[in-house]
């Protein structure tokens, strides 16, 4: 337990840096400050994570208005429970995205249950517009890494992981969509993520 720790690079503020600007903030440091009630630190953390929180939720929900509502709830939840973040168990950004993903999935499932709404087909609704102004080298590299690592998976691993993560499907639903037995889907999700972990270097540090 004492040796455990997630190997990660510092997470830098994605805002456009002015020359002579203060050094980029680390999400973990910001979150610790937020836990002490520091609203300014929260503002910085917001700038760092909000585009991904909103983007992720939007991708799962496919509805910008609902995504905005859920993203707001998530970010307020980050403020509210910042003191519960446990750095032993992962990075600050991962903690935030975990809350965001869970909330998006809950919403999409309760919606599906309530109305069995038809999923709007068409890539356009899935595309997440990306504002070039906010682009930033490390962000771009991270995205490239995600895509490269996803490309490294087998077709079934990739489908299993992305249908669950980006579309919020349960694994029985994923099995149905892929016409694959349940145990196989569970296994592909797990070994797909293990392969991604090795590719992204998110393993335990020695």
Partner 1 sequence: MTTEIHTLVGAYVLDAVDDLERASFERHLRECDSCRAEADELRETTARLAHDTWSVPPPSMRENVMAAIAETRQLPPAGPAAPAPTVRGSSRRWRVIAAAAAVVAAVGTGSAVWVVQDQRVQDQRAIAEAARAEEARVRAILAAPDVVLNEQNVMNGGRVTVATSRLHNAGVVMLAASAAPAGRVYQLWTIRPGGAPVSASVLHEGQEADVLVLDGLPGATDVGLTIEPPAGSRTPTLPMVADVKLV
Closer residue to partner 1, CB minimum distance, 20 or 193 = 193
Cα-only R_g, the chain: 18
Question: Which range touches partner 1 (CB under 8 A), out of 20-28, 116-124, 194-202?
Answer: 194-202
- Report, in Å, the least distance between residue 111 CB and partner 1: 10
9 to 25, 88, 172: CA distances (angstroms): 12, 15, 35
Determine the 3-state secondary structure of 6 from DSSP.
strand
- Report, in Å, the least distance between residue 124 CB and partner 1: 14
Query: Segment 51-110, which members bind partner 1 (CB under 8 A)?
Result: 51-56, 58-59, 68, 71-72, 75-77, 79-84, 86, 89-91, 93-95, 97-98, 100-103, 105-107, 109-110
Closer residue to partner 1, CB minimum distance, 65 or 121 = 65
- Report, in Å, the least distance between residue 116 CB and partner 1: 12
Closer residue to partner 1, CB minimum distance, 20 or 160 = 160
Interface with partner 1 (CB under 8 A), residue total 90
Which element (helix H / strand E) includes 157? helix 155-165
- For every residue of 45-91, DSSP letters joined together read HHHHHHHHHHHHHHHHH--HHHHHHHHHHHHHHHHHTGGG--GGGS-
């Amino acid at each position: 337990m004492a040796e455990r720790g997630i190997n990660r690079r510092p997470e830098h503020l994605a805002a456009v840096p002015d020359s002579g600007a203060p050094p980029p903030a680390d999400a973990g440091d910001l979150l610790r400050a937020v836990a002490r009630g520091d609203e300014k630190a929260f503002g910085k953390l917001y700038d760092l994570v909000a585009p991904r929180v909103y983007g992720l939720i939007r991708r799962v929900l496919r509805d910008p208005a609902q995504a905005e509502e859920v993203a707001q709830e998530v970010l307020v939840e980050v403020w509210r429970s910042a003191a519960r973040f446990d750095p032993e168990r992962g990075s600050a950004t991962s903690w935030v995205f975990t809350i965001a993903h869970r909330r998006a999935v809950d919403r999409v499932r309760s919606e599906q249950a309530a109305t069995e709404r038809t999923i709007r087909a068409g890539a356009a609704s899935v595309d997440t517009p990306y504002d070039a102004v906010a682009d930033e080298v490390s962000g771009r590299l991270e995205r490239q890494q995600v895509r490269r690592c996803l490309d490294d998976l087998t077709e079934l691993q990739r489908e299993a992981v992305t249908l669950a993560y980006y579309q919020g499907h349960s694994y029985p639903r994923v099995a149905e969509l892929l016409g694959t037995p349940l145990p196989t889907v569970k296994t592909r999700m797990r070994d797909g993520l293990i392969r991604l972990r090795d590719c992204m270097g998110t393993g335990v540090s020695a």
